[in-house]
Amino acid sequence: MNLLASLLAVVLGWAPSLGGSETVAAQPPQPPAKVAQAEGALAGKVIVLDAGHQLGNHNFPAEINRLVEAGGFTKPCNTTGTATNGGYDEATFAWRVTGKLKAKLEKAGATVVLTRTSNREDRWGPCVDVRGRAGNTLPSGGRADLKISIHGDGSLSSGAHGFHVIYPPSRAPWTDDIAKPSKRLASVTKDALTGKGFTVANYIAGGDGLDPRTDLGTLNLSDVPTVMVELGNMRDSGDASVMTSAAGQARYARALAVAVRAFLD
């Protein structure tokens, strides 16, 4: 029982008796559900959500193409991301899922840190090095508990559909510290997505939905467990109809919230 619950218990008269003549082991009084809910299952946890590419990246080619540190090599700061054939941007998809997920995590008591706080045509970035380092050092001095980078893929292969989860394998000195928990995060994320009815990608990642990659600055520079989710193929009409709908975006957010809970439990 934490301090708040203890105080409530005392105030409301539920404190376990310290003495007395009971011979049967008494069940400790349970704090009311209301208190447990207010504290939240994710209280004290800090989660970084990286909502992929900024909407305006295509308007800033010089800024976006600037080379930045990506984990022992350099890469362009960012890319424009993809879109559905109907023109619905990956940036907007990632932004909407991130917003819904953020609300769920905060409701459960977590602190959520965003790598971008707008979805605008007149903004760009942040670069992959900034995304990669997000959460490594919090203002409090500690580290975030995990980081999820949210994307949609853009494969033009006929019939390509489904999600895959990218994680950093161990590569010293970059990801050897986070490889093991990141792989576990990838595994619970895959399970959470399939649990909410999403199907594993049929065109990439060997068919099991799990894709170890060493070429992504967003993952390489992280000191906290991290995955990048490609939640579907935006060029596939079936995936696109889910990815562009509010109901579909909410279902992705529910799945990712389940993954966060599963990883941190």
Closest CB to Zn ion among 52 and 126? 52
DSSP 3-state of 72: coil
CA angle 36–108–1, rounded 5-degree value: 25
Closest CB to Zn ion among 51 and 255? 51
Give me the catalytic one of 39, 69, 106, 230: 230
d(CA 131, CA 76): 13
**Does 217 participate in binding Zn ion (rule CB under 5 A)?**
no
d(CA 189, CA 182): 10
Query: Which of these ranges, 81-89, 119-127, 158-166, 170-178, lies near Zn ion under the rule CB under 5 A?
Result: 81-89
Among 45, 102, 151, 190, which residue interacts with Zn ion (rule: CB under 5 A)? Answer: 151
Query: Which of these ranges, 48-56, 202-210, 217-225, 237-245, lies near Zn ion under the rule CB under 5 A?
Result: 48-56
**Does 164 participate in binding Zn ion (rule CB under 5 A)?**
no
Closest CB to Zn ion among 52 and 125? 52
Q: Which residues pair with 146 in a beta bridge?
A: 47
Closest CB to Zn ion among 56 and 81? 81
d(CA 131, CA 123): 15
d(CA 53, CA 119): 9
CA distances (Å), 261 to each of 228, 236, 254, 255, 258, in order? 17, 30, 11, 10, 5
Element (H, E) at 226: strand 226-233
Query: Which of these ranges, 19-27, 73-81, 165-173, 180-188, lies near Zn ion under the rule CB under 5 A?
Result: 73-81
Q: Which residues pair with 49 in a beta bridge?
A: 114, 148
Query: Which of these ranges, 74-82, 193-201, 214-222, 253-261, lies near Zn ion under the rule CB under 5 A?
Result: 74-82
Closest CB to Zn ion among 55 and 108? 55
Closest CB to Zn ion among 145 and 239? 239
Q: Are 132 and 219 in contact (CB under 8 A)?
A: yes
From residue 93 to residue 132, the character string flagging contacts with Zn ion as x (rule: CB under 5 A) and all else as - is ----------------------------------------
Active site residue 230: yes
CB of 104 to Zn ion, least distance (A): 22
| Closest-approach residue to Zn ion (CB) | 151
**Does 71 participate in binding Zn ion (rule CB under 5 A)?**
no
CB of 53 to Zn ion, least distance (A): 6
CA distances (Å), 21 to each of 13, 24, 26, 60, 250, in order? 18, 9, 11, 76, 54
**Does 81 participate in binding Zn ion (rule CB under 5 A)?**
yes
d(CA 12, CA 32): 11
Binding site for Zn ion (CB under 5 A): 52, 81, 151
Q: Which residues are catalytic?
A: 230
